[in-house]
């Protein structure tokens, strides 16, 4: 006898789908894409239905309940999630968990639906006598009804008036679901529609052709900093909306979201288009409501960070990945997907063009253009023919430092401040100093959970681990020798801010790093301060280099360049070139020119000279032969196997055992390791890695298929994480 059966992807670290019998009472509500509660061993678990069919359910357990009225995931989005699960070797249930707003894959979902009082005009023949009553009633009537929160934004203390209007029979009161809107109290910014130059117009024409044809086509929009890529995005989205489809725009960091959202709101909200944002800076409720409004087809434009690639848009007609080179698109833990690559897959599956935008394209994307699999569109000039900044490499071998700054940079800052212009200073290390050192005995202070020194934060008077957030107080005496000479070594943004205050006491200085942007809205406040000229000098980590458009910035200084350039990573030159080119591009964007000073002990390095010249092609021509010779991406493919556990010997032995199995079946795959990870102990876990390298993907896939059987023999106390196309080897 057949019955209704479903396959469910459960929220557990298992790659298997589980089949359940559907009770008759749930037969209509249990559809593909809904969440269900199902028995799982001795407990119950939340999962998502991925297949529904008639079958023999005699020996199957029965579903307990259905948690959704309508599917959260449609067939196309499930198709993408299936692909991601297979490609990244990660359980489908936990892939779905990462795609959905937080908390939805738990039995107790704390993200409740919010309701509020809703007022609607009734009995139009009735009119109140009071002037304030008439004003509020007329406004509600004009809106076609309004919620209490919305009314309070228009009229102060309206509750007594509303209560009286209900008693008089002029208004009807009911409870209605309210979506938590992060823009509710944000004023609509003014729109500035720019006149396109020839390069922008030609690029837009090629994009529009593919948008109109509803066909997949990857584009690389390579424009120098300040070349007007955002205006091209806006016009392309307008073309997409004309076709009755939706647009998805990805940004690498939350810090970029406010400015981009403002531009899109200014352009499209007056036209009646709703915009939703998806990123970790939202509250759980705001994110949940945004997701539901997208799934209900109430939103046509979605802007968000990495996880927004899974937004439940039914008919995406355009996907934009801004700053496509940025490493933030790669998830570093758990489900280690790359949002840029999934955006390309989604575009291919749903037949829509994908625009990858950057002033410094990743070597992988630039290589695809050279191979003909991606169309290159160039914006070689700044809008309004603005001049690119002049870049000077300051040789620290000959220029002495005064504190953290060389004399040429100090003089340039003083000159710019006299002109009432702004300065950006990049130092890609937060805190006051990387570590404290006892100069009597050489003792430094390490995190007990990680194999790394604790960073000194002077304002908090704390030693902090930037990996596990361990905190410790600053000791008065050295615990090893009882010495008193405990001295900060090196420098971070906090110390740079202090040095600048001494050098330029009249300057208004702000800092943008992870310490100053933890609270909600903090990014916006700093950006607003720059835009309104309330800040003279902005100090920050790499987040100040990403996409910000500060018209009054005339000078950019880069400190600590060599620490990034000398990392033991084959991508260090690419990352240095990209970061330096991006931050240099913040200078002189509105008022011609601008100056950039890069302090370095290696001014002859090609990554620095190419960044100074803003020459992507020259960098590509020098970097690619190195990648080709060693078989590194984009000329080869990598998989990193990371072993972790509480016992270092167990982890080492497990990695060695699996390494032997892999060597016996390696074939065309080069196996590097096992070896300790550069950060051997992290968050209390000992870590080893094996790097698999191959010129083609199929040999890697065959080797990975073998791993599933072998890992069952490893100790249960040792975890293995598979990182496909790794970006971070640390």
Find all residues with CB under 8 Å of 615, minimum gap 6, and list them.
Answer: none
b/e per residue, 539-550, with b = 16+ CB within 10 A?
bbbbbbbbbbbb
- Longest Cα–Cα distance of the chain, Å, equals 91
CA dist., res. 425 & res. 598, Å (int)? 10
CA dist., res. 440 & res. 136, Å (int)? 74
CA dist., res. 34 & res. 37, Å (int)? 10
CATH fold of 3-99 reads: GIY-YIG endonuclease (3.40.1440)
Contact 511, 493 (CB under 8 A): yes
Nearest to 39 by CA among 19, 14, 57: 19
Find all residues with CB under 8 Å of 160, minimum gap 6, and list them.
Answer: none
Residue 27 belongs to what H/E stretch? none
CATH fold of 637-724 reads: Alpha-Beta Plaits (3.30.70)
What's the mean pLDDT when you consider all of the chain?
89
* Mean of pLDDT values over 637-658: 94
CATH fold of 386-431+491-629 reads: Rossmann fold (3.40.50)
pLDDT tens digits, one per residue of 460-516: 889 999 999 999 999 989 998 998 899 999 899 999 999 999 999 999 999 998 888
In the chain, where does the domain assigned CATH 3.40.1440.60 lie?
3-99
Sheet holding 462-464, edge to edge: 455-457, 462-464, 471-473
**How would residue 708 be classed by pLDDT, with cut points 50, 70 and 90?**
confident
Give the CA distances from residue 227 to residues 196, 240, 249, in Å, rounded to whole numbers and listed in that order: 10, 22, 18
Contact 720, 642 (CB under 8 A): yes
Whole-number pLDDT of residue 129: 78
* Mean of pLDDT values over 543-561: 85
pLDDT tens digits, one per residue of 91-103: 999 999 999 887 7
Find all residues with CB under 8 Å of 634, minimum gap 6, and list them.
Answer: 363, 364, 367, 368, 627
Whole-number pLDDT of residue 233: 95
CA dist., res. 197 & res. 649, Å (int)? 63
**How would residue 256 be classed by pLDDT, with cut points 50, 70 and 90?**
low
pTM (2 d.p.): 0.87
pLDDT tens digits, one per residue of 146-199: 888 778 878 888 888 898 898 888 898 887 666 666 665 466 677 777 789 999
DSSP string for 226-252: TS-HHHHHHHHHHHHHHTT-EEEEE-S
CATH of region 115-177: 1.10.10
Give the CA distances from residue 566 to residues 540, 563, 596, in Å, rounded to whole numbers and listed in that order: 21, 6, 21
Q: Is the peptide bond before 674 cis (omega within 30 degrees of 0)?
A: yes
Per cent of the chain over pLDDT 70 is 95
* Domain formed by 198-383, architecture: 3-Layer(aba) Sandwich (3.40)
pLDDT tens digits, one per residue of 568-621: 889 999 999 999 998 888 887 666 678 999 999 999 999 999 999 989 999 999
Nearest to 277 by CA among 307, 302, 245, 250: 302
Whole-number pLDDT of residue 609: 95
Side-chain-side CA neighbours of 402 within 13 Å: the count stands at: 10
Side-chain-side CA neighbours of 518 within 13 Å: the count stands at: 3
Nearest to 650 by CA among 674, 678, 683: 674
pLDDT tens digits, one per residue of 649-665: 999 999 999 999 899 88
């Amino acid at each position: 006898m057949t019955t209704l059966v479903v396959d469910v992807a459960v929220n557990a670290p298992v790659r298997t789908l589980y089949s359940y019998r559907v009770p008759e009472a749930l037969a209509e509500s249990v559809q593909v894409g809904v969440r269900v509660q199902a028995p799982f061993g001795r407990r119950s678990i939340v999962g998502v239905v991925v297949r529904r069919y008639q079958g023999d359910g005699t020996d199957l357990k029965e579903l307990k309940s259905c948690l959704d009225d309508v599917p959260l995931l449609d067939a196309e989005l499930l198709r993408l999630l299936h692909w991601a699960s297979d490609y990244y070797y990660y359980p489908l249930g936990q892939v779905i968990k990462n795609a959905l707003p937080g908390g939805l894959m738990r039995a107790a979902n704390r993200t409740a639906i919010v309701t509020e009082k809703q007022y609607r005009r009734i009995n139009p023949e009735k009119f109140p006598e009071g002037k304030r009553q008439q004003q509020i009633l007329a406004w509600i009537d004009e809106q076609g009804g309004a919620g209490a929160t919305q009314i309070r934004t228009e009229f102060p203390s309206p509750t007594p008036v509303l209560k009286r209007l209900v008693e008089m029979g002029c208004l009807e009161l009911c409870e209605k679901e309210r979506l938590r809107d992060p823009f509710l109290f944000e004023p609509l910014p003014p729109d500035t529609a720019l006149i396109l130059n020839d390069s922008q117009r030609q690029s837009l024409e090629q994009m529009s052709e593919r948008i109109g044809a509803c066909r997949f086509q990857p584009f690389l929009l390579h424009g120098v900093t300040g070349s007007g890529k955002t205006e091209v995005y806006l016009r392309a989205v307008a073309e997409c909306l004309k076709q009755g489809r939706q647009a998805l725009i990805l940004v690498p960091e939350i810090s970029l979201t406010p400015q981009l959202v403002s531009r899109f709101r200014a352009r499209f909200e007056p036209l009646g288009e709703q915009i939703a944002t998806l990123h970790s800076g939202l509250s759980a409720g705001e994110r949940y409501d945004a997701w539901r409004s997208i799934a209900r087809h109430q939103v046509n434009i979605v802007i968000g960070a990495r996880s927004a690639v899974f937004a439940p848009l039914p008919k995406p007609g355009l996907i934009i990945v801004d700053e496509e080179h940025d490493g933030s698109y790669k998830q570093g833990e758990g489900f280690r997907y790359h949002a840029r690559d999934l955006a390309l897959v989604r575009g291919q599956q749903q037949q829509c063009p994908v625009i990858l935008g950057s002033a410094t394209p990743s070597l992988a994307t630039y290589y695809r253009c050279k191979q003909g699999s991606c169309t290159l569109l160039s914006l070689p000039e700044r809008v309004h023919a603005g001049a690119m900044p002049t870049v000077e490499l300051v040789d620290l071998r000959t220029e002495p430092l005064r504190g953290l700054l060389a004399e040429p940079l100090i003089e340039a800052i003083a000159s710019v401040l006299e002109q009432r212009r702004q300065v950006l200073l990049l130092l890609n290390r937060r805190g006051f100093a990387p570590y404290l050192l006892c100069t009597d005995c050489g003792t430094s202070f390490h995190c007990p959970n990680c194999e790394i020194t604790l960073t000194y934060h002077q304002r908090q008077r704390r030693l902090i681990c930037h990996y596990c957030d361990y905190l410790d107080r600053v000791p008065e005496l050295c615990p090893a020798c009882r010495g008193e000479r405990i001295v900060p070594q090196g420098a971070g943004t906090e110390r740079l801010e202090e040095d600048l205050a001494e050098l330029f006491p009249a300057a208004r200085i702000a800092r943008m790093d992870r310490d100053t942007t933890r609270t909600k809205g903090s990014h916006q406040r700093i950006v607003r301060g720059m835009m309104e000229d309330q800040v003279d000098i902005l100090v920050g980590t790499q987040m100040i280099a990403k996409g910000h458009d500060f018209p009054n910035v005339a000078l950019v200084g880069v400190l600590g360049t060599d620490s990034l350039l000398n990392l033991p990573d084959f991508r260090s030159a690419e990352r240095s070139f990209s970061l330096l080119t991006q931050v240099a591009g913040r200078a002189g964007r509105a008022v011609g020119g601008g100056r950039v000073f890069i302090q370095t002990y290696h001014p002859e390095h090609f990554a620095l000279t190419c960044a100074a010249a803003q020459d992507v092609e020259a960098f590509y021509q020098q970097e690619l032969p190195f990648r080709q010779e060693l078989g590194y991406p984009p000329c080869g493919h990598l998989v990193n196997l990371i072993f972790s556990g509480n016992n270092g010997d167990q982890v080492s032995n497990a990695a060695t055992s699996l390494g032997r199995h892999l060597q016996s079946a390696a074939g065309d795959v080069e196996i590097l390791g096992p070896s300790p990870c550069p950060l051997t102990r992290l968050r209390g876990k000992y870590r080893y890695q094996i790097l698999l390298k191959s010129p083609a993907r199929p040999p890697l896939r065959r080797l990975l298929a073998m791993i599933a059987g072998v890992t069952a023999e490893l100790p249960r106390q040792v975890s293995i994480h598979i990182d496909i196309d790794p970006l971070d080897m640390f």
